[in-house]
Amino acid sequence: MDLFVSALVTGVGLGSMYGLLALGFYVTYAVSNTVNFAQGSTMMLGAVMGFTFGVTLGLPWIVAILAALAVCVAWGVIVEAIGVRPFAARGSDLWLMATVALGLILENVVLFTFGKDPRGMPASALSAEAFSAGGLRVSVLQVTIPVVGLLIAVALHLATRYTRTGKSMLAIVQNPDAARLMGIDVRKAIVGAYAVSGLFAGIAGLLIAPLFTVSSSMGTLFGIKAFAVAILGGIGNPWGVMVAGLMYGSAESLITAAFGSTYTQIVTFGLVIVALALRPDGLFGRAGVKKV
Amino acid sequence: MVIARKARTAGRGALAVAAGLLLATSALAADPIKIGLVAALSGPSAQSGEAITQGLTIAIDEINAQGGVLGRPLALVKRDDESSPPKGATAARELIYDEKVAAIFGGLDTPVSLAIVPIANKEHVPYMGVWAAGTPITRNGAKENYAFRVSAVDVMVDEALLKYAQKHGAKKPGLILINNPWGESNEKGLREEAQKLGITLAGVEKFEDRDVDVTPQLTRLKNAGADALILVANAAPGAQMMKSRERMGWKVPVISHWGVSGGRFPELAGPTAGDVVFVQTYSFFGDQKPAGKKVLAELAKKYSVKGPEGVISPVGVADAYDAMHLLALAIKKAGSTKGDAIRTALHQIDEYPGLIKTYHKPFSAQNQDALGPDDYIFVRYEGTKIVPVH
């Protein structure tokens, strides 16, 4: 019993990280039907910048965090400007490859500047024990991650329903040309979405860094899993994305607990494929209606 | 434009010829015996290459100060393999064909060593491993085997790890291994040794290089009654394992292969880094015999190493130092720098008082590994220092 309680606690922690990262896919997809495939690299950038500003340069933490997030936002805007817009404007799908390429370039630049040696974020008040469940100590940070993720999901949900900006976003999704004619600045909205997406990835990176090791390749596998989560959740629904993240993380650690680690990746990704075969629009997505 | 480029090329050519002539004349004058080194001199394992270089250089300077070998000085020729097997193989060929080295020393990476060994065997050039522990490096099945080693060997480390666990009261150790070929080869070794020693394993769990949380694996081992953990992983994943163990509040002893000593383990693992006991071939801490004092003094003089805590990788320095002396002894015995003569002479070395131990018949045709399980010592981190465990 202990085994499953502790696996569930672990799974929720991991799952909310995937969910948080996957929300970054959601925001850009909602506005432009494009995503930054290398979202994992942006997450890594957040962690690396946090370490550089906070540990290497020794800036006060609040400054380091804001600076790292600013870099991630800027990177999101850059990705949109050179990796997405030139291709999307011509109706091409090559942004797919371009964003992957930009992610690889970023990883290699970090490899040469930050170094190949993985680094460890020092323990802070966030690593203190919050409570224990199933014999497992849960740190403040591990509680913070799901809370932040769920708050962002709620905020996104409310924003698209009740704010002017949110509604204009929905208008853009439905019909960009009509939205433009109605006086909505489509380009600005898309750039904004990429900036927010960079911000989410940066937050994820900063939250994950103390639990993990900081290195240029830390984001790759995370990015892939987060994309699986985004698709699984039905990429057009922030709630769904977050819940899918929690489900994915829990499945991952429950499978490890039940069958051993050898089968984890095989079974979890297998389950994703089965789930998508049964519900092609994701677990919480609505089928898009194609109008001819 | 074209003319300008041609002129520049011609100029460069002339320069190269001049430089070549200069090199050739100086080589003729000194006529040293060239000793090759193919190791990671850049990248995440660069420290290992630096440590091996230090050990080799100290030994070579000692030998040269006493007139060299066969009346010729020894000269070290280094090549960076960047931890890449193809780069290592290319470098080894270059050292053999162009530099005509008498022997090649190897670095930390087992895959690189495994890429070089077949070349060494084919070209009859002795290969001296001083770090990489992969069992098949020396046990490669070649009829005429030119691969020798003064370092740990995975199968023997596996034996030593289990014996240590047993000695310290573990009845049912659990294995927690990195999911890659290195982890797999140790799984095989550990299972076989456990059977020989009559030890029942609580379980075998694998984890990935990039795993954030290893709690589920550890919980399985805990529930299976593991009373010690045998760890095989490098510093970063090893640290993730230790963080999960800490979260579980599980005070189980951890006995590890030396992978954890390759990076910033204390920084990555945090407060429980010191709980890991791991294997080494040598420590510069504690009472040193004359050889140890001499090497420490040389390290201080040449590399401004301040005391034992300043030695970046004791394993690399000590293994390389002893291996270089053993090789020089063999060249002297062989009276030649021909590979097959050196190989035979290595088998004939009787006794040599080295840094790690006094070697008695270190190499034979059946066993080209100079160190065995009884030569390993156990250490742990104290802060960022590596100190012996008593």
* DSSP secondary structure, B186-250, as one string: HHHHHHHHHHHHTPPPSEEEEE-TT-S--HHHHHHHHHTT-SEEEEE--HHHHHHHHHHHHHTT-
User: In this structure, is residue B226 part of a structural domain?
Assistant: yes
Q: Evaluate the CA torsion angle B134, B139, B142, B148 in order and state its sign.
A: positive
CA distance A90 to chain B (A): 38
pLDDT digit string, tens, across residues B185-231: 899 999 999 999 999 999 999 998 888 889 889 999 999 999 999 99
Structure tokens at A109: 């630049």
Q: The tokens 């999901």 sit on which residue?
A: A153
Residues B166 and B147 in one domain: no
User: In this structure, is residue B268 part of a structural domain?
Assistant: yes
Domain with B299 in it: 32-152+289-374
The amino acid present at B328, given as its one-letter code, is A
B375 DSSP assignment: G
CA distance A255 to chain B (A): 9
- Residue B136, judged by CB atoms within 10 A of its CB (0-12, 13-18, 19+), counts as middle
B72 DSSP assignment: B
Question: Which pLDDT score, from 0 to 100, does residue B18 have?
Answer: 53
Distances in whole angstroms, Cα of residue A89 to Cα of each of A75, A94, B54, B274: 20, 11, 58, 57
**Interface with chain A: mutation pick from B212, B222, B384, highest number of A CBs within 10 Å:** B212
Which residues in A lie closer than 8 A to residue B247 (C-beta atoms)? 136-139
The reply to whether residue B43 touches residue A116, judged by beta carbons under 8 angstroms, is yes
Residues B144 and B161 in one domain: no
pLDDT digit string, tens, across residues A129-165: 777 776 777 878 888 888 888 898 888 888 888 888 7
Which residue from B291, B300, B245, B239 is spatially nearest to B270, judged by alpha carbons?
A: B239
The reply to whether residue B271 touches residue A123, judged by beta carbons under 8 angstroms, is yes
Residues B40 and B126 in one domain: yes
User: In this structure, is residue B217 part of a structural domain?
Assistant: yes
Q: Which parts of chain A fold into alpha helices (H)? A: 2-32, 39-51, 61-78, 85-88, 95-114, 140-162, 164-174, 176-181, 186-208, 220-232, 238-259, 264-278
Compare all CA atoms of chain A with the CA of B204 and give the residue at the minimum distance: A260
Structure tokens at B290: 């004359």
Residues B221 and B183 in one domain: yes
Q: Where among B280, B310, B342 does a domain terminate? A: B280
Task: Residue A265: count other Cβ atoms within 10 Å of its Cβ.
Answer: 16
Q: Where among B258, B280, B302 does a domain terminate? A: B280
Least confident of A35-44, A71-80, A111-120, A167-176: A167-176
Which residues in B lie closer than 8 A to residue A7 (C-beta atoms)? 215-216, 219
pLDDT band at A3 (very low <50, low <70, confident <90, very high): confident
Which residue from B326, B345, B324, B362 is spatially nearest to B74, judged by alpha carbons?
A: B324
Residues B194 and B121 in one domain: no
B163-196: string of b/e by CB count within 10 Å (b at 16+)? bbbbeeebebbbbbbbbeebbebbbebbeebbee
The reply to whether residue B212 touches residue A215, judged by beta carbons under 8 angstroms, is no
ipTM score of the complex?
0.82
CA distance B268 to chain A (A): 4
Compare all CA atoms of chain B with the CA of A218 and give the residue at the minimum distance: B210
Q: Where among B227, B260, B280 does a domain terminate? A: B280
CA distance A231 to chain B (A): 22
Question: Which pLDDT score, from 0 to 100, does residue A169 have?
Answer: 78
CA distance A282 to B217: 30
Question: Which pLDDT score, from 0 to 100, does residue A131 have?
Answer: 77
Question: Which pLDDT score, from 0 to 100, does residue B12 have?
Answer: 56
- Residues ≥6 apart with Cβ < 8 Å to B368: B138, B145, B147, B148, B149, B346
- Residue B62, judged by CB atoms within 10 A of its CB (0-12, 13-18, 19+), counts as middle
Residues B331 and B258 in one domain: no
Q: Is it the case that residue A291 has pLDDT exceeding 70? A: no
390 residues of chain B, pLDDT tens digit each: 445 555 555 555 555 555 554 444 444 446 899 999 999 988 767 888 999 999 999 999 999 999 999 999 999 999 999 889 999 999 999 999 999 999 999 998 888 999 999 999 999 999 999 999 999 999 999 999 999 999 999 999 999 999 999 999 999 999 999 988 788 889 999 999 999 999 999 999 999 888 888 988 999 999 999 999 999 998 889 999 999 999 888 999 999 998 888 678 888 998 899 999 999 999 888 888 899 999 999 999 999 988 887 887 888 999 999 999 999 999 999 999 999 999 999 999 999 999 999 999 999 999 999 999 889 999 999 888 888 887
- Residues ≥6 apart with Cβ < 8 Å to A142: A9, A13, A130, A211
Q: Checking phi first, is residue B351 left (phi over 0); if not, alpha (psi -120 to 50) or beta?
A: beta
Strand partners, B360: B351
User: In this structure, is residue B24 part of a structural domain?
Assistant: no
B199-210: string of b/e by CB count within 10 Å (b at 16+)? bebbbbbbbbeb
Structure tokens at B7: 């002129």
**Interface with chain A: mutation pick from B207, B209, B219, highest number of A CBs within 10 Å:** B219
Angle at A18 between CA A15 and CA A23, to 5 degrees: 125
User: In this structure, is residue B26 part of a structural domain?
Assistant: no
Question: Which pLDDT score, from 0 to 100, does residue B30 have?
Answer: 61
Question: Which pLDDT score, from 0 to 100, does residue A239 have?
Answer: 86
Residues B346 and B335 in one domain: yes
Which residues in B lie closer than 8 A to residue A138 (C-beta atoms)? 247
Residues B57 and B159 in one domain: no
Q: Is it the case that residue A275 has pLDDT exceeding 70? A: yes
- Residue A196, judged by CB atoms within 10 A of its CB (0-12, 13-18, 19+), counts as buried
Which residue from A221, A252, A282 is spatially nearest to A15, judged by alpha carbons?
A: A252
Residues B298 and B238 in one domain: no
- Residues ≥6 apart with Cβ < 8 Å to B159: B189, B193, B196, B197, B373
User: In this structure, is residue B384 part of a structural domain?
Assistant: no
Strand partners, A267: none
Compare all CA atoms of chain A with the CA of B222 and give the residue at the minimum distance: A3
Q: First-to-last CA distance in chain A? A: 54
CA distance A211 to B287: 39
pLDDT digit string, tens, across residues A108-135: 999 889 877 788 888 766 667 777 776 7
pLDDT digit string, tens, across residues A29-61: 888 889 999 999 999 999 999 999 999 999 999
Q: Which of A137, A217, A260 sits opposite B247 (nearest CB)?
A: A137
| CATH number of B127's domain | 3.40.50.2300
Angle at A13 between CA A11 and CA A14, to 5 degrees: 65
Per the prediction, chain A carries an average pLDDT of 87
The reply to whether residue A123 touches residue B247, judged by beta carbons under 8 angstroms, is no
Helix (H, G, I), strand (E, B) or coil at A250: helix
Residues B41 and B146 in one domain: yes
CA distance B254 to chain A (A): 19
Helix (H, G, I), strand (E, B) or coil at A163: coil
Q: How many domains does chain B have?
A: 2
Residues B193 and B224 in one domain: yes
User: In this structure, is residue B25 part of a structural domain?
Assistant: no
Residues from A contacting B (CB-CB < 8 Å) are: 2-3, 6-7, 10, 13-14, 17, 115-120, 123, 132, 135-139, 208, 211-213, 215, 217-218, 220-221, 253-254, 256-257, 260-262
A90-106: string of b/e by CB count within 10 Å (b at 16+)? eeeeebeebbbebbeeb
Tell which wins on pLDDT, B9 or A238: A238
User: In this structure, is residue B343 part of a structural domain?
Assistant: yes
Sheet holding B33-39, edge to edge: B74-80, B33-39, B103-106, B127-129, B147-149
Q: Which of B206, B236, B246 sits opposite A261 (nearest CB)?
A: B206
**Does B206 lie at the interface with A, CB-CB under 8 angstroms?**
yes
Question: For residues A22 and A48, is the Cβ–Cβ distance under 8 A?
Answer: no
**Which domains can be identified in chain A, with CATH numbers?**
2-278 (1.10.3470)
